[in-house]
Amino acid sequence: MNKKILFTGGGSAGHVTVNLALIPKFQKDGWDTVYIGSATGIEKQLISTIHDVRYHEIATGKLRRYFDWNNFKDPFKVAAGVFQAYNVIRKEKPSVIFSKGGFVSVPVVLGAWLNRIPVVIHESDYTPGLANKISIPFASKVCTTFPETERFLKTDKAEYVGAIVREELFEGDAARGRKLCDFVSGKPVLLIMGGSLGSQRINQAIRNNLDALLASFQIVHICGKGQVDEALTRKGYKQFEYISDELPDVMAMADLVVSRAGSNSIYEFLALKKPMLLIPLSKGASRGDQILNANSFKRQGYAEVLMEENLTDETLLRGITSVHDNRATYLAAMEKGNTGESLSRVYGMLKRLAGRK
């Protein structure tokens, strides 16, 4: 068997994190690893942190459900991306391809189909995104994170596998996290994450409540690119644009989390048993997938949900206080959560498909 695997996915950190979990596992088993992504997306930055991954850039256009003048030119970018991906795949000759989704993945899946290479797609959200909807007819298997997702796919290719969580997240050290942030032990730590691109509304609401929050918590605030407030320096408050290598340590020291509701992130918090206040992207700013994700977690008792339309300084403070006061209830529910053998199941699926090539 040719032990070479090609990965794709990008546009946001959520479309890369599962790849970051799988790549080291394949490398440890002696597989040659290749990645196709965009020239400027966050995937290039994240994959660059892993040794021995060949990265190929292709053109990509955004796929929109609404009118935009770019809709007239982006199909040409997608077509160029298909041609480029086809040639990369033909040259690299992987035995299997894993796609995490995002706009960059569509040309890769089509290029794989033209090269007759089997593809496994991973769908993290409650309902499939547009990129994966387009790609599914050309794939061999579709892995889902939520069991309910299968009814939206209408294909016998779907298989519920659960959440894929990076193994290194379980190796975090709270003491290292406190040292990084200059925090003390004994005072609760609140972790704020607004997604890889950040959230101006969440950031501002946190900063407006800083005095009240610092009375009870130490705060590590992952703000997003260009959203650090350099003028705001307070003891017990540490800002970052983005955290990569130190994230396991930061998550290990956190007692509770305020976050968007991207499925990869919230399942990582679940695996690490972190009570959550989720503020999903509104329907006006997304297709509503984060709202479905957040409400699923609320029903299962893992999180409280604050809709972005209801986000004010007061509701944010009340929500954080409520999660902290009721943290024992959330922790008890999380102990029953299923975060088991998803990584091994997908790893085995990919190896079996590669063996049939």
The CATH number that applies at residue 81 is 3.40.50.2000
What pLDDT score was predicted for residue 67?
47
Same domain, 184 and 133: no
Give residue 12's pLDDT band: very low, low, confident or very high (50, 70, 90). confident
Phi and psi angles of residue 88, each rounded to the nearest 5 degrees, phi first: -65, -45
What pLDDT score was predicted for residue 261?
92
CA–CA separation, 99 and 118 (whole Å):
11
Cα dihedral 249, 277, 262, 349 in deg (nearest 10)? 70
**Mean predicted confidence (pLDDT) in 192-198:** 71
Q: In the numeric block, which tokens belong to residue 332?
A: 């008890």
Per-residue pLDDT reduced to its tens digit, 149-184: 888 887 889 999 988 888 889 999 999 999 999 999
Same domain, 199 and 297: yes
**Mean predicted confidence (pLDDT) in 115-120:** 97
Same domain, 232 and 286: yes
Neighbouring CB atoms inside 10 A of 230's CB total 6
Same domain, 198 and 148: no
Same domain, 161 and 186: no
**Mean predicted confidence (pLDDT) in 67-95:** 81
What pLDDT score was predicted for residue 61?
63
CA–CA separation, 25 and 15 (whole Å):
18
Same domain, 53 and 151: yes
69 has pLDDT over 90: no
* Structural domains counted in the chain: 2
Same domain, 131 and 189: no
Residue 84 domain boundaries: 4-165+340-356
Same domain, 159 and 172: no
Per-residue pLDDT reduced to its tens digit, 90-100: 999 999 999 99
Neighbouring CB atoms inside 10 A of 340's CB total 13
